[in-house]
Amino acid sequence: MKLSNRTILGALSVCSMLVLGALFFTQHTKQDTTSSTSFGTAFAETTNKHQQDLATQIKTLHKSGEFDKALEISERALKSDPVDLEAYDARWRLIAKMFSEADAKKRIVSEIKALLQAHPETPEILNAAHWGYRHLPGGVKNVPSSLFDKMLQYPNTELHLLALLGLAERSEEAPQKWHYYQRVIDEFTASDVPELSWYLLAYEEMLWLIEEDRSLASNDYADELIDQYLKAHLFYCQKTQLWSGWAYTIVSKWRLKLNIRLDKALEDLASAKIRLGEEEEQTWIKRRGGSIEEKQKDISRLRAEIYLQQERWREAHDGLLANAPDFSESLWVRFNERAINYFWMLGQSAERIGEWETARRYYADAHFAPKSHAEAQAGLERIYHQTARGKTADTFEAFLKDTEAEYRIREAADLEKFRQEFITNKLNKKATDFRLETLEGETYSLSAMAGKVVLLDVGASWCGPCNISIPEVETVYKHFSENDDVVIWGINDGETPEQVRKSLDEHRQPWPVLLDRSQQLRKAYQIKGIPFFIVIDKTGNWQYSFLGSHLVNGQPLIWMVETLLSD
């Protein structure tokens, strides 16, 4: 779980950096404009409108798949007067995606150097150059140290913060990373930056480093760091009108993860519960589509996990049981890694209070699930030795076999329930035809697949969940590999051939991947997010769709295809 959490955190931090970079550029543009005369202001606004239009044109053509045209128009950025940094950025993004790594680097680096030579090295110019290097494969590793040195000459600014975070990100050794993240905290605590997500990222990364190498900080220092993180996070929540309980629960999770001052973690959860009762905070939760009741359960669950760590077994068991997720809610909730860990915690707490049969059931749920919990079998062995006294003829192997048989009955009942929920909700919509090509120039059309069940996997190489789902789609592909009536296609959503080629070299999907440069399927099938799976029946009707990477052993896609095969 830690790896996936860090992956998600990394994606979020990149998004945050992009937003902050845009804000930085906008703020300086606004300051320059407002300091002019009224005529100068009007001229600057007209100029900004022109510049925005050029950047927007490049982005629009890029998004619609007209890459060559977008590149042609972007040439204007190189001759713009005054300099059009937004258009430069849109051009460099385009080049990084259109060309091979070597060609993209040659083009972008030469243009960055020309930009720096032709204009005064203002914060705006330095910021643009920095992002230009980061658009290249390898990201921050492309940024020259000399550029970071220039960025560090602007203390107490976002540019300075960006440089420190970049230096931390590209450092190879944990102590080096620690040094730069510590500088972020030391230098920006007293500034106007703490509400920004980048500042919080430094705390988060330092805590990850502590988890990986406890020698980096004593427990007392880690405790102090978590307290500072809470203070900064609460400030951020207040500024952005986010539920303050989010900050309290995050630091409580870190205390649990590092096993540091769990008494403080319980105090923080008590504070989160108080905030949950405040009208203003409830408004913030509802505004973002959250559930007050679910937040309450989250707090109670986390408290129970802390009790488990403190070996307060009865309180832990009662809390875990009372606030358990609804495992009958969905296939993913029932079988995902988090659920398996929850079953294990329930088994452990039940064992400690002597409820052997309850413990046996939950340990079985954790052990025989698709991804077995590493410690669940040891738990079952302990239960066997507790309950098999006086039954010397029984063996643990027989006990384990009987336990698995009971589990499989429960699992089959749950799976059938989920299967029925998925297969009974057909869409019965006429599928929109399309003709798309592979990288090799082979043309595929939906209309040519009449009489076959077609599964479309719409995704993109930049989409983390899409890449996570590839092994699951491979499970589906293998399941139907000998059935000529099933067709599986990947649909790349709007990327350049170079991006698609790089993704295929990495993942090597055995099914055809078609290039939808203009994102026609996104429009035709009203796709709001990816990965998005479309299942079309033999008569050309769109019957099922599934959004997201929450697949378990190829399900529910296998169920959907099998249902349409039998129709």
Query: Which pLDDT value is given to residue 12?
Result: 36
* CA separation, residue 111 to residues 66, 92, 253, 521, 522 (Å): 22, 9, 46, 35, 34
* Banded model confidence at residue 198, pLDDT cuts 50, 70, 90: confident
Distance, CA of 154 to chain centre? 32
Is residue 122, in this structure, part of any structural domain at all?
A: yes
Is residue 194, in this structure, part of any structural domain at all?
A: no
Amino acid identity, residue 478?
K
Q: What is the mean pLDDT of residues 229-250?
A: 92
Alpha helices in 259-395, H assignment, sequence order:
262-276, 279-287, 292-309, 313-322, 331-335, 337-352, 356-367, 376-387
Same domain, 435 and 523: yes
Sign of CA dihedral 228, 234, 240, 243: positive
Query: Which pLDDT value is given to residue 190?
Result: 64
Look at residue 472 and tell me whether its pLDDT is greater than 60: yes
Q: CA 507, CA 215: separation in Å to the nearest integer?
A: 37
Is residue 411, in this structure, part of any structural domain at all?
A: yes
Q: Which of 408, 430, 422, 531 is nearest to 473 (CA)?
A: 531
Same domain, 418 and 447: no
Same domain, 417 and 437: no
Three-state DSSP state, 450: coil
Per the CB < 8 A criterion, the answer to whether 551 and 455 are in contact is no
3-state class percentages of the chain: helix first, strand second, coil last, to nearest 5? 65, 5, 25
Same domain, 514 and 397: no
Three-state DSSP state, 23: helix
% of residues, the chain, pLDDT over 70: 89
Same domain, 435 and 554: yes
Tens-place pLDDT, residues 3-46: 334 443 343 333 333 333 333 333 333 333 333 333 233 333 44
Helix (H) or strand (E) holding 108: helix 101-118
Contacts 24+ apart (CB under 8 A), 502-509: 502/461, 503/461, 504/439, 507/467, 507/470, 509/470, 509/473, 509/474
Is residue 203, in this structure, part of any structural domain at all?
A: no
Q: What is the mean pLDDT of residues 388-412?
A: 85
Q: CA 559, CA 416: separation in Å to the nearest integer?
A: 10
Per the CB < 8 A criterion, the answer to whether 515 and 435 are in contact is no
Three-state DSSP state, 444: strand
End-of-domain residue from the set 389, 423, 457: 423
Is residue 550, in this structure, part of any structural domain at all?
A: yes
Q: What is the overall mean pLDDT for the chain? A: 88
The C-alpha torsion from 307 through 312 and 313 to 316, rounded to 10°, is -30
More confident residue, 2 or 154: 154
Look at residue 249 and tell me whether its pLDDT is greater than 80: yes
* Residues, the chain: 567
Q: What is the mean pLDDT of residues 377-394?
A: 81
Q: Decide the pairing of beta strands 541-547 and 532-536.
A: antiparallel
Same domain, 554 and 536: yes
Is residue 295, in this structure, part of any structural domain at all?
A: yes
Q: Decide the pairing of beta strands 443-445 and 435-437.
A: antiparallel
The structure tokens listed for 523 are 């429009």
End-of-domain residue from the set 119, 151, 183: 151
Is residue 539, in this structure, part of any structural domain at all?
A: yes
φ, ψ (nearest 5 deg) of residue 515 = -95, 115
Residue-wise burial string across 417-450, b where 16 or more C-beta atoms lie within 10 A, e elsewhere: ebbeebbeebeeeebeebebebeeeeebebeebe
Query: Which pLDDT value is given to residue 30?
Result: 31
Tell the residue number behind the tokens 């239009």, with chain if given.
53
Same domain, 445 and 554: yes
End-of-domain residue from the set 101, 124, 151: 151
Same domain, 436 and 550: yes
The structure tokens listed for 399 are 């006990």
Tens-place pLDDT, residues 139-194: 999 999 999 999 999 988 889 999 999 999 999 999 999 999 999 998 887 666 55
* Banded model confidence at residue 393, pLDDT cuts 50, 70, 90: low
Using only C-alpha atoms, the chain has a radius of gyration, in whole angstroms, of 28
Q: CA 241, CA 229: separation in Å to the nearest integer?
A: 18
Query: Which pLDDT value is given to residue 389?
Result: 60
Same domain, 274 and 358: no
Q: Which domain holds residue 484?
A: 429-566
Q: How many domains does the chain have?
A: 4
* Banded model confidence at residue 239, pLDDT cuts 50, 70, 90: confident
Same domain, 480 and 513: yes
Q: CA 204, CA 190: separation in Å to the nearest integer?
A: 19
Q: What is the CATH number of the domain that holds 433?
A: 3.40.30.10
Same domain, 434 and 418: no
- Range ranked top by mean pLDDT from 2-11, 233-242, 387-396, 447-456: 447-456
Q: What is the mean pLDDT of residues 345-355?
A: 97
Look at residue 387 and tell me whether its pLDDT is greater than 90: no
Is residue 141, in this structure, part of any structural domain at all?
A: yes
Same domain, 60 and 144: yes
